[in-house]
């Protein structure tokens, strides 16, 4: 057990993706050359960003943009800011975006970007200067037909607005479709902010239908209470699910009778943490993963479910709101125990799906009512859920490998039809 856990901790986001890719690709009997091509990013960009800080110092920040695939369309993927951002992490997440877009069958390839910085220690002016210079450095490689960034960890609508404006100033006309996740006033889409959380609920609804369960008899624990976790908790609570536990990095709260989610949202808005909410019993951030529930929705960070705790997960359904919350060794344990896992590249694809809708609306200059956005999202997520589950049954593999196989098959098929330009 110790060595397995050590190997999990040492396994990077890219290595986890590659391990799952290799299993899926071999089950598809892809030749080694095509496997190598599909695993390898199309382009990796490293930039060094000089920024004048508020105190007059000149500081240099490292930035990355990895474009994994352009086979099915422009690259698509978020930009994250954080002190722990690495090129290897960005490389793995870019590949995950390729498979995510292919699973929900939208015409994008995958990309990811990042800047090594600590937003908590930066002023708004410093953040803006970092964002604008980063955008200028990668300007030749992004655009509505090339690569369309979006928000990710520690980035938001305002940062996307700065990216859009910087790009627009350089090309000398307003180009809203260069980026998604923008404010509504700048060409954003209705429903975008809730999209990832809503997508999690949609696929969870499908899992309940599969097992003949009803929302009102389904207890849910949400691990992580950022945008994805809080929106999923709110929407699921409003739909009739019983949210019995919520945790963020500060700690958690559990109430077997169900939490008052609106009161919790108000508390977190005022206190910036879940810890201390009086509506239930306090519980540890990781301990809550092992508590009684039918649905566990990890929406925080990677590798929280691993070989050290997978055998103690009590949930029957695991809905991965975060990217890579489950390690490859834990996958095998959960599968053997009969836990129904809805993998991240399916469960949290609502965000990129509505980003696609935003891109389409920007390009046509016509914006849809939120009801239309949600209806189209529901159609795509339900279709993708059924595609993955049926593929898994057909090939006798778990849902994650089924999702990878389906995605890889779609990208490989496109590449074979396009051929290799030389």
DSSP strand pairing (75-82 vs 219-223): unpaired
Report yes or no: 303 and 9 within 8 Å, Cβ to Cβ: yes
Domain pair 40-186 / 195-347, same fold: yes
Quote the radius of gyration of the chain (alpha carbons, Å).
Answer: 21
CA terminus-to-terminus distance, the chain: 48
From the list 112, 182, 242, 275, the catalytic residue is: 112
Rounded-to-integer distance, Cα 347 and Cα 417, Å = 29
Name residues of the chain where pLDDT drops below 50: 1-7, 10
Instruction: Name residues whose C-beta falls within 8 Å of residue 37's C-beta, 6 or more positions apart in sequence.
Output: 415
Q: What is the pLDDT of residue 11?
A: 66
Report yes or no: 92 and 165 within 8 Å, Cβ to Cβ: no
Beta-bridge partner residues of 45:
65
Report yes or no: 296 and 315 within 8 Å, Cβ to Cβ: yes
| Domain boundary assignment for the chain | 40-186, 195-347
Report yes or no: 358 and 352 within 8 Å, Cβ to Cβ: no
Report yes or no: 321 and 337 within 8 Å, Cβ to Cβ: no
Is 242 an annotated catalytic residue?
A: no
Q: What is the pLDDT of residue 149?
A: 98
Tens digits of per-residue pLDDT, 326-361?
998 999 999 999 999 999 999 999 999 999 999 999
Ramachandran angles phi, psi of 272, nearest 5°: 65, 20
DSSP 187-198: TPPTTTTTHHHH
Residue from 71, 117, 78, 43 nearest 420 by CA: 71
Q: Half-sphere exposure of residue 69, counting CA atoms within 13 Å on the CB side? A: 30
Rounded-to-integer distance, Cα 134 and Cα 196, Å = 26
Q: What is the pLDDT of residue 324?
A: 86
Topology classification of domain 195-347: Rossmann fold (3.40.50)
Rounded-to-integer distance, Cα 398 and Cα 73, Å = 28
Rounded-to-integer distance, Cα 202 and Cα 335, Å = 22
Report yes or no: 92 and 16 within 8 Å, Cβ to Cβ: yes
Report yes or no: 232 and 297 within 8 Å, Cβ to Cβ: yes
Residue from 224, 269, 282, 270 nearest 248 by CA: 224
Rounded-to-integer distance, Cα 195 and Cα 295, Å = 19
Topology classification of domain 40-186: Rossmann fold (3.40.50)
Report yes or no: 264 and 274 within 8 Å, Cβ to Cβ: yes
> Beta-carbon neighbour count of residue 220 at 10 Å?
27
8-state DSSP, 226: S
> Beta-carbon neighbour count of residue 276 at 10 Å?
12
Tens digits of per-residue pLDDT, 28-81?
999 999 999 999 999 999 999 999 999 999 999 999 999 999 999 999 999 999
Rounded-to-integer distance, Cα 63 and Cα 117, Å = 9
């Amino acid at each position: 057990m110790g060595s397995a856990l050590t190997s999990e901790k040492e396994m990077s986001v890219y290595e986890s993706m590659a391990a799952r890719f290799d299993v899926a690709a071999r089950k598809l009997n892809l030749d080694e050359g095509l496997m190598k091509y599909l695993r390898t990013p199309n382009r990796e960009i490293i930039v060094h960003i000089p920024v004048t800080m508020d105190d007059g110092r000149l500081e240099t920040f490292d930035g990355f943009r990895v474009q994994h695939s352009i086979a099915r369309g422009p690259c698509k993927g978020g930009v994250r800011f954080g002190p722990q951002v690495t090129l290897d992490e960005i490389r793995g997440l870019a590949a995950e975006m390729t498979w995510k877009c292919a699973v929900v069958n939208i015409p994008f390839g995958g990309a990811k970007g990042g800047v090594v910085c600590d937003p908590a220690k930066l002023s708004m002016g410093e953040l803006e200067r970092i964002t604008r210079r980063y955008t200028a450095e990668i300007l030749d490689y992004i655009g509505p037909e090339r690569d369309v960034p979006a928000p990710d960890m520690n980035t938001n609508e305002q940062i996307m607005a700065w990216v859009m404006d910087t790009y627009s100033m350089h090309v000398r006309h307003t180009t809203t479709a260069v980026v998604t996740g923008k404010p509504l006033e700048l060409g954003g889409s209705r429903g975008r902010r809730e999209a990832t959380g809503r997508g999690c609920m949609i696929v969870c609804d499908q899992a309940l239908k599969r097992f003949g369960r009803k929302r009102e008899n389904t207890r849910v624990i949400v691990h992580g209470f950022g945008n994805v976790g809080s929106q999923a908790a709110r929407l699921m609570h409003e739909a009739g699910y019983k949210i019995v536990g919520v945790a963020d990095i500060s700690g958690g709260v559990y109430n077997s009778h169900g939490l008052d989610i609106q009161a919790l949202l108000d508390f977190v808005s005022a206190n910036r943490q879940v810890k201390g909410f009086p509506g239930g019993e306090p519980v540890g951030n990781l301990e809550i993963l092992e508590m009684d529930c039918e649905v566990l929705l990890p929406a925080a960070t990677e590798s929280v479910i691993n070989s050290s705790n997978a055998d103690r997960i009590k949930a029957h359904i695991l809905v991965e709101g975060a990217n890579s919350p489950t390690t490859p060794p834990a996958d095998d344990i959960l599968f053997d125990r009969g836990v129904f896992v809805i993998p991240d590249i399916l469960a949290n694809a609502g965000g990129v799906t509505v980003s696609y809708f935003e891109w389409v609306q920007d390009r046509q200059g016509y914006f849809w009512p939120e009801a239309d956005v949600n209806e189209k999202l529901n159609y795509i997520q339900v279709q993708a859920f059924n595609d993955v589950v049926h593929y898994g049954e057909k090939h006798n593999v778990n849902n994650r490998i089924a999702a990878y196989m389906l995605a890889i098959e779609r990208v490989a098929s496109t590449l074979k039809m396009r051929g290799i330009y030389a």
